[in-house]
Chains A and B, each alone.
Chain A
Amino acid sequence: MESQSDASTVSLTKSGPDRATGLKRKNGVARNHVKKDRGGGQSVRRQGFKLWMLIVPFIILSLIFSYLPLFGWVYAFFDYQPPIPLSESKFVGLQWFKMLVQNPAQLHTIAQVLINTFAMSGLGILTSIFPLFFAIGLNEIRTRWFKNLVQTLTTLPNFISWVLVYSVAFAMFSSTGMINQLLENLRLIAEPVKFLDSDSWTWIKMLLWSLWKGLGWGSIMYLASISGIDQELYEAAQVDGANRWQQILHVTVPQLMPTYMVLLMLSVSNFLNNGMDQYFVFQNAFNLKHIQVLDLYVYNIGMGNNSLSLATAISMLKSLVSVVLLISVNAISKRTRGESII
């Protein structure tokens, strides 16, 4: 009993000075380092190894999710027909790639798909300034409850899945939907307007849907940066006699530009990833020509037509286009800003 309490006081007194001042503790740590280093390169290596171990989980994750899937490319070189496993499938070399270019009609389809992809992503990038304007507008609303209401209502659609968005769209815009019924009852139209099953303005319609869904969400980042703008800038502007409009133009917008540029870069890098769920739910026989983006085309070929090998070959096209995009953006960056990543 006694000896135990003795030991505890000893340990307390020992650690006492260390705790008392940061300086001493620092010294202690430094001493430790020196001690270890004297042990030779082995301990440095061990330390390095430990630090390396810290990033191992992330390396493994990126291997699993970014590099391991590339193994799936081998399917493009086999005649894979489920349920026969790959190991028993026939190796066909470049057959599927040849098939992609074998006739003008096929090439034409692929060209159309790429045009759709570029058009929809392009429109998305062109309109990426909208959330910025929306955020500024929202920020100018002085009535707090109204501002919150608008923000909540515009952010909510982001959390609705595309399938549900489509069912809302269907309820409103189908040939017997709300809008058509309303127009018919008002005797404005004689027969229902085909909002969903026609191929007119497909790109614009899709753009509007994604704007409706993403506007509020996209403006959150800008609202955050607006609240981070130094109030002194506004005060200085007011002293200089700037009105509200001039404050927006000369303080808010320039201050938001860095954020905008970052988000723009991110969306450019996601150029080909315009997803497929939106287009998948909205596609039908009538608008397929202009709604089929690369991801959807791959899905339709692979899952819809059961040609998994060909779909793999086409999806490799995506990587090819991405590499071309990367190289060209890099070249532009090199020329204009003198910086490059490769």
Chain B
Amino acid sequence: MTSANDPTAPAGVSQGAFDLSEVPVEHVAAMAALSGTEGSADADAAALRGPAPDALQAARIAVPMRRIVSGSYRGRAGLWRLDLRVDVDGVRPLRQVSGDFFRADGGTVTYTGSFAARNVNVAVTPEAVTITAVVSASFPNSCPRVRIIIPRRTILQAAGEADVQWLTNGGQAGTRYLCLWESRYFRTVDLEEDVETGVTPFESYNTGALSSGGPARTLCLATAFIEAGIEMRLTGEPGTIATAPGGTWSNAELHAAMEAHFRHWANQPQWKVWLLHAREHDLGSSLAGIMFDQRGRQRQGCAVFYAAIAGTGATRRRDQLFTCMHELGHCFNLYHSFSKTFTTPPRPDRPDALSWMNYPQNFPGGQAAFWSSFPFQFDDPDTIHLRHGFRDNVIMGGNPFGEGAALEGLGYFAEPEQGGSRLALELRADRSFRLGEPVVVELKLSTRRAEGITVHRHLHPADGFVTIAIQKPGGGTVVHRPLIEHCIRPETVVLDADHPAIYDSAYIGCGEEGLAFGAPGLYRLRAVYLALDGSRVVSDTLELRVRGTHHDQDEAVADLLLDEQVGKLFTLLGSEGPEMASANARIERLVEEHRTHPLALYGELVQGYVRAKPFKLVLADEPVQVCQARPAEAVAMLDRVVDASTAPGKGLDSISLNQIFRRMIAALKTAGDDKGAVRIGKRMLETYRKRGLKPHVMAEIERQRDEALGGTGSA
């Protein structure tokens, strides 16, 4: 019988030689050289299976008692922190290096990206181990080559530092990190367990009790994960969850139980996981376990059901161990061995994998064949993922289940590892948007503390101190780059108990990146504010929905608005420039042909706004032309925009509406209609008083109204 995937290999062959002894780095380097795959891309099958036994014997070198160099290291260079993982010796060395980068800005530490390299070159001398590789990374990097030098130490000495030098393709030196040894493990996870009343949870199993494919040893969950290079720390004794006798669990109930009982549950990625030992799922006793956490921040919890696997006999203990490891493997974002083609990106299926992630009944030859060969481990590709997968593809609460691809701009959606800032940034949109509707978000910067803090007041992305990242429904991420940037001297303001927040709104529908919201679906947005002390204040993720079209008129209006020139017109809030002629024609059609459509107000907005003031046309080789203001027209149009925005959640957001009121006041003052200007000012205050705003916000609006009425007329 042959392997289902490899016509040259027999069925059931282990993807890697099973060996729990520590492999010296000299051995790994020699094996790589003998197999002829050193530095090649085709090394997995050959190098990990190793050369013929007699060649292997010839390569054995008498090695003094030296420390292994594999494990985790950590170093810093400037604002950056590197968490490095070296995997070239020790138990099941995989000849890989990987790492995660974090950026420290003030009190905030944020994950920014990961890298990994396979089949690394290893050169060994009595003094040092030198590892060289070309990495793949989840972020754009100008130095894709890395050289890592780790001094050899005996087991009686402290571990040596890893000297990490990044290099360009041409060999020029990039950043250098000196990384201190942290742990022999590649990752560390805290495991919290709870037990349903009446269930006796799994503790340990001796793998030699029944026929198996590896050496006999007693495994508990912690030791089974240690064999994969993962430290699983138990966070105390399991708690008990009291339930009614005979009840079963739905996925929703499991999720609720997790949020209630998992002491470390949080809405952010973290190396923490919850395992519930329960009696039975709604689906019945055929379901032995499930990773139920597939909403929000996923993969933080799983459950094992003992209805069909309870007991202390060897078979039952084996089933319990297998199910626990299998479900926890899902929490690390591992799919079934036979379903890898359904991950993102897809991987080859491995139906003959001897791994915790297979189904014994799906193995070629059935359960008996599986158990007689299974060495109670993850197979090598699964182990590589656990040890070296890009952080967000592995960490609980990271990428959704099954999604393993790195996203462009990944760092923007990373949770700060440490939130030390005294400021909080909120990104808001109080409703969903129609397709084609200009997407405007509100930003609020506030202080968490009563004592004053000086901040700059520039929340609009065009001022250069705030960045907004947009993750589209398909998963790609873009960073909003405003079409116009303001070069400003920062103005500061003190936020304190009396004046705790500042606000602004920003149209982000069109930027240098083009139209960002051109398709229906769920978008995720995040903003970053660069504070005066250099810290980065990161908002929570805003989920924003763009609704699809349901009527022909919706489609026609969306067709008119989804145009980059129209996007520019919205950015400018109108223009009489000849280069905007096509966009203005579209707006004209929107207003004339779709006057009653809810989105027509945006047409009146840009037309009314630009007509409120004179517009200077500066054309090459011609005298400056001035398009006279048309204040009556402008006010009539903007009045209709205000009418459409009076009810909360309709029309313009509050901050943009404020701008429109002040524009109307300015237009009327320019036209000499002071009474009209006062009337609009009164309407402005009445509109906002009905919204129940906080006193300091209302005070600021009154000040803005007064300034508009008594100022130069600019708004």
- The yes or no verdict on A and B being binding partners is no
Residues of A within 8 A of B (CB): none
